Chains A and B, each alone.
Chain A
Amino acid sequence: MRPEDRLAEIRASRDPKWPVQHPALDEALTAAIHAPVADTGFDRTVWQRIRAEEDLRVATAATPMRFGMPLWLVSLNVAAVTIAAVTIGLALGGAGPTSVAKSVNAAFALSEHTLPSARLFAVVVTSTALWLSLRQTPFARAVARACL
């Protein structure tokens, strides 16, 4: 649009003649166009939405989830991986048949001197760890569902 046309439009928009030329139309527009009234209830609703959002954020942050799993399961997995790594490390460290035989002999010798209560404790801890780990497997879940 040319600048002079734009100027003419701006002048025309200031022109108070429009409501005079089209009084019925102007009246109809004035009467028909209205917005919902925003009062203090509006403010209350906004604060409610803000609080609800913050509550949700706090609740999400407080959930002990990591990698999509409960914290206890993550800890158990870390312990299992550590034990597996140590076992593999020990196995690789004494790979030869002589050293394996030595290790086995040493283990038997140690077990003979171990107190029965310590042995029982080790069995209980191992069984519990195994049970906790196995019950998270899909197979265990399927069995549990079938049993229940």
Chain B
Amino acid sequence: MDATVSSGTGGQSAARDADLLEAHRRRDYSAVLDGLMQRYRQKVVNLSLSIVREPALAQDMAQLAFVKLWRALPQFDGRAALSTWLYIIARNTCLSELRGRGKFVSLDAPGVDAVIDDVAEHESIGAAEAEYDVAQLLDELAEPYRRVVVLFYLEQRSCDSVAQLLGIPEGTVKSLLHRARKQLAAAANALDAPRHRGRGAPNAT
């Protein structure tokens, strides 16, 4: 996955984390980690969830990402924003986990449209009481589309935020989101059609 983000978002993060960079210069790594956790823990959990799709595992991966960050903090050279660096560590942690489980699908993989993985039902993505079976609809989506859609809703519909978290350009996020929406709408119509036919059947006779 491409790790670059637009300079604008990286610059904003760097400005926001100036105090943490100052703490890093003083080698006050505890302050840096505390600050990063306070500001980004929820984003890292969201990002992890969009990749691993299991809430408990997402929490675990997010924590592991911070532990890895702590180990690597002395080597941080300040070339990227701290948050960008954190997201890269989190993504790699999750993808390594999926690779270990044989469920890895790269955003850049060719023919990714055809991929529908076999991840089972999960608690937080999908609501039984909803009119649509969201879990089923999301299962119909290929991995990159699903990640973008999940993060889009977790990040209050901010494409910029999704781009930062996934380390891809905002245009790519919008493009993926557009295609994902089309597929979701088509899948929803397909799932809905038998239900409507079922409802309409008594009236027709």
Binding site for B on A (CB under 8 A): 6, 9-10, 12-14, 18, 21-22, 24-25, 27-38, 42-43, 45-46, 49-50, 53
Within 8 A of A (CB), among B171-186: 171, 173-175, 177-179, 181, 184-185
Q: How far is the CA of A89 from the CA of B175 in the complex (A)?
A: 81
Residues of B within 8 A of A24 (CB): 131-132
Within 8 A of A (CB), among B143-190: 149-150, 153-154, 159, 171, 173-175, 177-179, 181, 184-185, 188
Binding site for A on B (CB under 8 A): 33-34, 37-38, 41-42, 44-46, 49, 55-56, 58-59, 62-64, 66-67, 70, 124-127, 130-132, 134-135, 137, 149-150, 153-154, 159, 171, 173-175, 177-179, 181, 184-185, 188
Q: A10-B175, A25-B188, A45-B63 are in contact. Are A34 and B132 (CB under 8 A)?
A: no
Select A46's contact among B37, B137, B177, B184, beta carbons within 8 Å: B37
Interface centre among A18, A27, A30, A35 (most CB of B within 10 A): A35
Closest to A43 in B: B37
6 chain-A/chain-B pairs, Cβ below 8 angstroms: A9-B178, A13-B174, A14-B174, A25-B188, A35-B45, A42-B41
Q: How far is the CA of A12 from the CA of B160 in the complex (A)?
A: 16
A10 & B171 in contact (Cβ 8 Å cutoff):
yes
Residues of A within 8 A of B174 (CB): 9-10, 13-14
Closest to A53 in B: B67
Closest to B62 in A: A38
Interface of B (DSSP majority class): helix
Nearest 9 pairs between A and B by C-beta? Answer: A13-B174, A32-B134, A32-B127, A33-B153, A28-B130, A38-B41, A28-B132, A13-B178, A9-B178
Select A13's contact among B124, B134, B159, beta carbons within 8 Å: B159
Interface centre among A6, A25, A31, A32 (most CB of B within 10 A): A32
Closest to A12 in B: B178
A22 & B185 in contact (Cβ 8 Å cutoff):
yes
A38 & B130 in contact (Cβ 8 Å cutoff):
no
Closest to B148 in A: A13
A49 & B63 in contact (Cβ 8 Å cutoff):
yes
A36 & B188 in contact (Cβ 8 Å cutoff):
no
Residues of B within 8 A of A43 (CB): 34, 37-38, 41
A36 & B175 in contact (Cβ 8 Å cutoff):
no
Q: How far is the CA of A146 from the CA of B177 in the complex (A)?
A: 73
Residues of B within 8 A of A6 (CB): 171, 175
Select B130's contact among A32, A34, A49, beta carbons within 8 Å: A32
What's the least CB distance linking A32 to chain B, in Å? 4
Residues of A within 8 A of B58 (CB): 35-36
B37 & A42 in contact (Cβ 8 Å cutoff):
yes
B175 & A35 in contact (Cβ 8 Å cutoff):
no
B59 & A38 in contact (Cβ 8 Å cutoff):
yes
A33 & B150 in contact (Cβ 8 Å cutoff):
yes
Given contacts A33-B124, A53-B67, 20 further A-B contacts (CB under 8 A): A10-B171, A10-B174, A10-B178, A13-B178, A24-B131, A27-B131, A28-B127, A29-B132, A29-B134, A31-B127, A33-B125, A35-B154, A36-B45, A36-B56, A36-B58, A42-B62, A43-B41, A46-B37, A49-B63, A50-B67
